[in-house]
Chains A and B, each alone.
Chain A
Amino acid sequence: MARMKFLCDAERCIECNACVTACKNEHEVPWGINRRRVVTIRDGEPGERSISMACMHCTDPPCAAVCPVDCFYQTAEGVVLHNKDLCIGCGYCFYACPFGAPQFPQTTNFGGRGKMDKCTFCAGGPEADGSPEEFQKYGRNRLAEGKLPLCAEMCSTRALMAGDGDVLADIYKERVVRRGYGSGAHGWATAYASRNRGDALAPGRVGTGGS
């Protein structure tokens, strides 16, 4: 069974926002909700790097640990999904998430944030696969159609990759060896740490070079 992950190669990401727009287009995500975003560090300075960030679908998701109504669940492929019918919009998951993934349609001070929304790895939600109800609440279910998340599929420079973690790690390793540098896959240590111990070239480890 594949273990689905995201990997963003900061040496390739050019902040073109194809991933962000593809996500909006595919799921009809409304204005103001950002399931995916591109973050740039050292903007305009030597060393500027960008990475595309969304829910990383952690191995041990902290959002699920803090949710008071237990609306999160993980699929057999490791995708972290949630049930909007259960969500009470408390926002705890937002505080727990190391990646700032959970999004809320409203911004009031006390409750009433509305149902949380986040990246589904294009895997929908608890409703029947491909049903209108599922689309309305979570967007399309590409995984059920045998397709991968559209953000990664459309990435202009193949910086953002989605798929089985082992395959991604192999692709990334090959790239780092070929080009002789790599700044690490941001977030891997945080999201999937337990799986990577002892592998010096694994994405997310410090010491893989970097330029």
Chain B
Amino acid sequence: MSGQGAAAGERWTRLGLGTLSVAIGLGVWQALGSLHLIPSGLLASPAEVWAAFIDISRHGYRGTSLGQDVIATLLRAVAGFAVGTLVGVPLGLWMGMSRLTAAAADWMVQFLRPLPPLSFLVLLSLWLGTGDTAKIGLLALTAFPIITSATYAAVGSVSRQKIQAAQSLGASSGQIFCHVLLPAALPTISTGLRIALAAAFSTVVAAELMAGSDGLGWMIFSASQYLRNDIILLGIILLGLLGMGLNSLLLGLDRGLIHWRGRE
């Protein structure tokens, strides 16, 4: 079919252009160093970053292996996101179904949403110490208002006629919730979850600036004190790749499970 051919062609075009732009980016980066446009003390070259990667993955960085750092960061991000989801989704659903709950909670959620999460950092470390609890708490606080708002909006946008149709077919409120409201709201909730995960992930580095001894954020912060910008860049690249991976994981789940997204 020509339609499938066109789709496959577009996929290759996207893959090709994506690869090309990464290659050009790497080329420019290497050229900046090779042509001495930027002193190597300020910008490590791709080759130096690669060497740092090989070195750290063999010997670790200041007592922690690279795997430990990656996993520590990943676990914090996922744990904070999970707490935010476990609080945010039920609260958003409840707000969507009860005007009183919405009235009670909406201002708080809208107040929290635009606040920079870092503004809580000091308070959280005062209350919860500088361990993982405070870090995960910060990420949860980042993710939760985003997830709550998305879920609340998702419930509000569910077609009234679908609910009326279910009522006329004899469905109870509980059945309408499970079989109509939740699946109808799921596409918007899922989008909110991906945005919240990105936000939580982008906060994890800042969270790891608090006292600690592992995680990619800690690695970057520590390397900056030794002016090891090869390691800083390595940390940034790994963080970016991890973020991309988490996002495509959620996107894959969304595409696999929510087949009715955007369809009537």
Do chains A and B interact in one complex? no
